[in-house]
């Protein structure tokens, strides 16, 4: 008699398990289709932008007949690519976030925080969905000047992107966690949002204290809890404007649109794709092999090659992780054969990432030019020597550490071998210098020269290096869209936040406080170094510079600091913070690329960090390093 209920219960359990499996399979299928729906158009838009911009360059410089509509069409496609790329990045979990504290939590806590980050992102997307639709509707009456079409074709990217991100967030919540954990995260976020809404009448009389509550407390709590940085900024800004001001929320959407639509930012996806091309076609490997033939027989020679290789390829990809991934696999195996410790290798790899932050064509420099109005050509000119100063500082540490290296088993490359390696690498070595020279000399804009670099790399890969895997093009285009979308969405969120800070009067108060500081220019630069060291470790370079660049650069000009010099100081300070453990996420990216336990690199990295700090102080104290080649 007891067997029947047991069988019934067992059958019910199997039926429930089958239903659950079928439900999960349905969610997975929907997720895959959504991936195709977003990834393929995003990749197509990257390719279309490249083609349109390259056509504009050829038409202007070859046929002397500019296409008046090319920039406008590229701008429309760029916003769509950025929003779809942000969707792809959210689906892949690739939006920038600070994980230093999350990674140290217990597995259960970490899993809950990951779900909480998704729930917080979903909360902002739901809150901004209607204002985004309202903003696109109002833009419908605006007619674009060149194509003479409704601006709704461009602005519709915002509500469509937000809607797709809502769907992606819901699917990820269903796929990556248990029902109980998901419900707990959603309830917690809902309760917190409800509590802030209920407290609105009490917040308004607090005045500027709300800046500390929202832009200090809310942003800090979100960032340290692992909420993507873009959504942390956006949530705090939405809450501040909605609960303490009478600003319509479509104004926030408009500011985000403005931040994401700067034409100069078109260079971001193009340089990202160019960096991937350089790796795929073997150009990066050719550069490194030439340097290795030249210096491989010297004590610490391969470490010098690592520093030089990063100097050559840095900044082109838009991702320090991509730069490091192009160099490390070529050098690390041989360096390990010579007895180098894995911890020392990853420490040097990480600090070369910080050293090369100012090397053009750096995406951070392009972003500074976009948000502050500083000349891109001047920034590209000013960035070379500061990077060299820090490189020399790192080389000094390498010389000291490897001065007793045993090279008895290392053969010196013959002059013939060096010459052969140089000829083979020349097309690759020339590309970074051609790109920098073209922008610096005013021959082409950063956007134009990136398309020329892409065409050059394709031809070099096909005709010279004979390494061009067509099957990799689609994944590379999708990766470009995802990384660019994550970067541009951060810029949009940070632009909205910076606007909110400015409207609150914070910018004026900050300027007054900084101008009144003792020490004049030196005091201002010293405080800026400390501030951007901290910001770099928490926010990374791009969101930090978009948020604080418009506030700090006018103050720098007011106290007499050259804007290019100031840009180099803050970029290097942020780079140092980005790659310094225990908070710097760049350090952990280097460990992942080098496949080294982060603990192994902690001790050896401090010597390199001290060298970088000395170099940073030299750059800050001697403006000539940044401005000596700018001319009058």
User: What is the mean predicted confidence (pLDDT) over 425-432?
Assistant: 84
Q: Which of residues 116 and 61 earns the better pLDDT score?
A: 116
Q: What percent of the chain has pLDDT over 90?
A: 28
The domain boundary residue, chosen from 216, 232, 261: 261
Residue 17 has pLDDT above 50, yes or no: no
What confidence tens digit (pLDDT) does each residue in 356-411 have?
888 877 778 888 888 888 888 888 888 889 989 999 999 999 888 888 777 676 77
Which of these, 335, 328, 314, 295, lies nearest to 418 by C-alpha position? 295
Q: How far apart are CA 560 and CA 583, in angstroms?
A: 33
With respect to residue 5, please indicate whether it lies within any of the assigned structural domains: no
Residue 15 in domain: no
pLDDT in tens, 524-566: 898 888 888 877 776 666 777 877 788 888 888 888 899 999 9
Taking residues 305-321, what's their average pLDDT? 71
Same domain, 39 and 131: yes
Residues 269 and 224 in one domain: no
**pLDDT mean across residues, the chain:** 84
Residues 162 and 187 in one domain: yes
Mean pLDDT of all residues in 225-244:
91
Residue 8 is assigned to a structural domain of this protein: no
- Tell whether 470 is covered by a domain: yes
Least confident of 322-336, 416-430, 544-558: 322-336
The pLDDT, as a whole number, for residue 541 is 64
**352-361 per-residue burial string, b: 16 or more CB within 10 A, e: under 16:** bbbbbbbbbb
pLDDT of residue 585: 65
pLDDT of residue 91: 92
Segment among 29-38, 202-211, 304-313 with least mean pLDDT: 304-313
Length of the chain: 632
Residue 18 counted as domain residue: no
Q: Say whether both 136 and 270 belong to one domain.
A: no
Mean pLDDT along residues 463-485: 89
**Mean pLDDT to the nearest integer, 488-497:** 85
257 and 207 together in one domain:
yes
Q: Mapping DSSP to helix (H, G, I), strand (E, B) and coil, where does residue 150 land?
A: strand
Does residue 183 surpass a pLDDT of 80?
yes
Same domain, 126 and 143: yes
Which of 229, 261, 293 lies at the terminal end of a domain, its last residue? 261
The pLDDT of residue 3? 42
Same domain flag for 290 and 193: no
Is the predicted pLDDT of residue 339 greater than 80, yes or no?
Answer: no
Q: What is the mean pLDDT of residues 151-156?
A: 93
106-132 pLDDT tens trace = 888 888 999 999 999 999 999 999 999
Same-domain pairing of 401 and 478? yes
Domain end call among 261, 277, 295: 261
Q: For residue 8, what pLDDT is reported?
A: 43
Q: Are residues 324 and 388 in the same domain?
A: yes
**What are the pLDDT digits (tens) for 593-628?**
777 777 788 888 889 999 999 999 999 999 999 988
Q: For residue 437, what are the domain limits?
A: 265-627
How far is CA 528 from each of CA 49, 157, 344, 349, 631, rounded to the nearest angstrom? 37, 37, 30, 26, 26
Is residue 558 located within the same domain as residue 410?
Answer: yes
Average pLDDT for 284-293 = 81
Give the ranges where 402-472 is alpha helix by DSSP (H): 415-440, 446-459
Is 12 contained in some domain? Answer: no
How many independent structural domains does the chain possess? Answer: 2
* Domain-located, residue 400: yes
Residue 358 lies in a domain: yes
CA distances from 28 to 171, 174, 535 (A): 8, 9, 38
In which band, very low, low, confident or very high, does the pLDDT at 7 lie, cut at 50, 70 and 90?
Answer: very low
Question: Both 384 and 370 in a single domain?
Answer: yes
Q: How far is 175 from 35, CA to CA, in rounded Å?
A: 14
Whether 20 has a pLDDT exceeding 60, the answer reads: no
**Does residue 414 share a domain with residue 376?**
yes
Burial of 508 (0-12, 13-18, 19+ CB in 10 A): exposed
């Amino acid at each position: 008699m007891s067997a029947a209920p047991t069988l019934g219960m067992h059958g019910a359990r199997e039926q429930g398990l089958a239903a659950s499996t079928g439900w999960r399979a349905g969610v997975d299928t929907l997720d895959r289709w959504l991936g195709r729906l977003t990834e393929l158009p995003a990749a197509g838009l990257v390719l279309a932008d490249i083609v349109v911009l390259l056509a504009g360059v050829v038409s202007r410089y070859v046929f002397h007949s500019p296409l008046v509509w090319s920039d406008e069409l590229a701008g429309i496609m760029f916003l769509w690519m950025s929003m779809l790329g942000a969707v792809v990045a959210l689906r892949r979990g690739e939006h920038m976030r600070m994980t230093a504290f999350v990674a140290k939590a217990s597995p259960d806590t970490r899993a809950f925080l990951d779900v909480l980050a998704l729930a917080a992102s979903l909360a902002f997307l739901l809150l901004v969905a209607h204002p985004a639709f309202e903003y696109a509707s109002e833009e419908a009456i605006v007619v674009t000047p060149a194509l003479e079409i409704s601006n709704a074709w461009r602005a519709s990217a915002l509500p469509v992107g937000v809607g797709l991100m809502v769907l992606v967030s819901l699917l990820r919540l269903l796929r990556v966690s248990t029902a109980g954990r998901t419900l707990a995260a959603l309830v917690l976020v809902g309760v917190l949002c409800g509590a802030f809404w209920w407290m609105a009448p009490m917040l308004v009389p607090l005045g500027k204290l709300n800046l500390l509550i929202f832009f200090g407390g809310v942003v800090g709590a979100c960032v340290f809890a692992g909420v993507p940085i873009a959504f942390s900024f956006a949530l705090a800004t939405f809450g501040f404007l909605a609960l303490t001001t009478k600003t319509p929320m479509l104004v926030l959407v408009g500011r985000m649109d403005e931040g994401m639509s700067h034409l100069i930012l078109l260079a971001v996806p193009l340089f990202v794709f160019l960096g991937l091309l350089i790796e795929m076609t073997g150009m990066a490997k050719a550069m490194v092999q030439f340097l290795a033939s030249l210096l491989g027989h010297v004590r610490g020679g391969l470490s010098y090659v690592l520093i030089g290789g990063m100097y050559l390829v840095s900044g082109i990809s838009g991702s320090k992780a991509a730069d490091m991934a192009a160099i490390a696999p070529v050098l690390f195996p041989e360096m390990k054969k010579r007895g180098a410790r894995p911890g020392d290798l990853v420490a040097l790899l990480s600090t070369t990432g910080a050293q090369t932050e100012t090397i053009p064509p750096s995406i951070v420099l392009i972003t500074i030019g976009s948000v502050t109005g500083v000349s891109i050509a001047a920034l590209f000119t000013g960035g070379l020597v500061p990077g060299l100063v820090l490189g020399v500082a790192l080389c000094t540490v390498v010389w000291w550490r490897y001065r007793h290296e045993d090279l008895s088993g290392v053969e010196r490359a013959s002059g013939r071998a060096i010459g052969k390696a140089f000829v083979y690498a020349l097309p690759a070595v020339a590309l970074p210098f051609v790109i920098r020279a073209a922008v610096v000399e005013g021959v082409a804009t950063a956007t134009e020269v990136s398309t020329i670099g892409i065409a050059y790399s394709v031809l070099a890969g096909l005709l010279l290096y004979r390494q061009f895997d067509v099957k990799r093009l689609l994944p590379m285009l999708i990766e470009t869209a995802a990384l660019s979308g994550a970067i541009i969405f951060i810029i949009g969120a940070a632009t909205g936040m910076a606007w909110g800070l400015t409207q609150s009067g914070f910018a004026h108060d900050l300027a007054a406080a900084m101008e009144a500081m003792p020490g004049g220019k030196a005091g201002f630069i010293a405080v800026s170094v400390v501030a951007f060291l901290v910001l770099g470790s928490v926010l990374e370079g791009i969101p930090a510079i978009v948020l604080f660049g418009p506030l700090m650069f006018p103050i720098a000009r007011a106290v007499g600091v050259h804007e290019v010099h100031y840009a180099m100081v803050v970029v290097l300070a942020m780079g140092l913070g980005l790659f310094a453990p225990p908070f710097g996420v760049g350090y952990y990216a280097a460990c992942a690329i080098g496949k080294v336990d982060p603990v192994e690199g902690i001790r050896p990295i401090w010597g390199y960090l001290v060298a970088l700090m000395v170099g940073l102080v030299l750059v800050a104290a001697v403006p000539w390093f940044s401005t000596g080649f700018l001319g009058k």
